[in-house]
Structure 1
Amino acid sequence: MSDSSSPLVVITGACGGIGAALVERFGRSGARLVLCDLDPAALERVTHPAVALRLGFDLADPAACRAAAARIERDVGVPDIFVSNAGWTRAETLATTDDEAWRHELAVNLTGTRDLATPLLGAMRARGSGAFVFVSSVNALGHYGNPAYSAAKAGLLAYMRAIAVEAGPDGVRANAVCPGSVRTPAWDHRFAEKPDLLGRIAPLYPLRRMVTPQEVAEAVFFLASPLSSGITGVALPVDAGLGAGNPTFVEAIS
């Protein structure tokens, strides 16, 4: 069990595939954890001894986000680390991105993060220390489908840089990781529709595979830790090489 002197880490989307890996990684380090998720029942099933607080709420609800931030400060204190991990998408292409999908995906993936983070950022700046790590996406760096989700994740990078530049003088760092395809339950609906999908997309990655939730969690942990004390404003791809180039293209012209 962590004690009150251990770093306090807020993790959103704590019950998803990457969220579970983050809980395990930060919990193993001795941190105290504040877990945030849309599903209160799923939060109750997380039994890690490092959990100090569970908060079930909708990131698309601004009042709920601000209430959650207030409760964090009141019940467990000002966080040392904020990990923005929550994410959701179903609108695959421009043709399927209607007005409702656009607004909802930006609310969940971008605006809700800002609504929760803003009061906590103010408290970190007043204290003189803190670290933010945003789980963005390769979709923020290039187009791989999901237009609304991509716009939101690109917005997270801009928000991250704003924190890095404006709150840096107050001792607050902000960075992001940009995962490629991560094999989590979020992909289950795609694999159910297209059983051959993994075999079709794996050759697009130089490492010939999807990355694991644990690999993403290790990158987040590094950027949140003192090991990266001189790093801020950075977006780190964790994408099995997708952003480096297209191996199938190289093979085709060889």
Structure 2
Amino acid sequence: MTLSNLHEFLGLKDRHVLITGAGGGIGRALVAAFTAAGAVVSGADRELQSMSELSLAYRLVFDLTSRTQVHEAVNSFINDQGTPDVLINNAGFTRGETLDQVDGDVWEREVSINLNGAFHVTTPIVDAMSKRGSGSIVFISSVNALSHFGNPAYSAAKAGLISYVKALAVERGRYGIRANAICPGSVRTPAWDHRLQNQPDLLARVLPHYPLGRMVTPEEVAQATLFLASSAASGITGTALAVDAGLTAGNLRFINDVLAGEN
């Protein structure tokens, strides 16, 4: 497929795409993927410096925990640049924890960033999209929204995103708006570097849980997001797509531990 045919297939050439969390590992892969698809890409992040090396049409800076900051930045963006054709809600945050480590402050911070923040970004944009009569929104959720793998507060927030996706799909579909979610498993970004420094054997313990025997890459998450956002997925809305190297398909370690040697 030629570049011209690819652009025609995806229908994103010259479309304006806004990506939150643009300066992170997955965010940078998203910027690269949508740029390669011919889109005009703008980015948002908590700090301007994290986006300084990215080729972006427009840069928004806000803290997701501040409703005022979010609304001011997003409304200013819409007034200056118009309503984006695509919104990618990628920004998020978590830390490894079990239920015993979650107190009220942890719970409120993770829900504020991962769920409430995405809602505050989306609301003015989906309103503007509704008035125009078209729009595509993709949320980066997590496999933690589908099954429990620890991080209870983060998991609750990411599960909330999937419910929000369904609400948008059902109640805003009549305005030409599609909403979907991507649910990555562990993604090999720089966020893993400090964990691997502290626990050099961590990957050896993590990877056997994945049927493909590896983590997914930021580029694989970006490619799946690109598809759901594009006109190639024009009939798809209200879905949650796992991009997880098979993690949620089943538990091979359980099979090997329980059934191995019975035949």
Q: Is the contact made by 1:91 and 1:147 (CA closer than 8 Å) also made in structure 2?
A: no
Q: Which has the larger radius of gyration?
A: 2
Which of residues 205, 208, 215 is equivalent to 1:203? 208
Are residue 170 (structure 1) and residue 175 (structure 2) matched? yes
Please point out which of 83, 99, 111 is paired with 1:78.
Answer: 83
In the alignment, what sits opposite 1:10? Answer: 18
Q: Give 1:30 shift.
A: 1.2
- Contact 1:68/1:116 (<8 A) preserved: no
The Cα offsets for residues 150-176 of structure 1, whole Å up to 9 and x where unpaired, read as 011001001111000000011000000
In structure 1, the partner of 2:161 is: 156
Amino acid at match of 1:52: A
Q: Which sections of structure 1, spanning at least 5 residues, go unmatched? A: none
TM-score (norm: length of structure 1): 0.95
Say which of 42, 48, 55 aligns to 1:40.
48
RMSD: 1.1
Counterparts of 2:163 and 2:191 in 1: how far apart (Å)?
Answer: 25
Q: 1:128 offset after TM fit, Å?
A: 0.4
Equivalences, count: 247
Change (3 A) 1:197 1:91: closer
Please, which of 77, 84, 92 is the counterpart of residue 87 of structure 1? 92
**Percent same amino acid at aligned positions?**
53
Contact 2:24 2:50 in 1 (8 A): no
What is the TM-score when the length of structure 2 is the normalising length?
A: 0.92
1:219, distance to aligned residue in structure 2 (A): 0.3
Residue 125 of structure 1 contacts residue 170 of structure 1 at CA under 8 Å; is this kept in 2?
A: yes
Partner of 1:215: 220
Q: Segments of 4+ in structure 1 off by > 4 A? A: none
Q: Deviations over 1:78-134 (max 9, x none)?
A: 010000101101251112212111111111111011011101000001100000000
Indicate the larger mover: 117-126 or 91-100: 91-100
- Flag structure 2 segments of 5+ consecutive residues without an equivalent: 1-12
Which string of whole-angstrom CA distances, capped at 9 and with x for unpartnered residues, describes residues 197-232 of structure 1? 111110111000000000000000000000000000
1:64 and 2:69 correspond? yes
C-alpha contact (below 8 Å) 2:110/2:153 kept by paired residues? yes
Cα drift, residue 189 of structure 1: 3.0
Worse-matched range after superposition: 183-192 or 236-245? 183-192
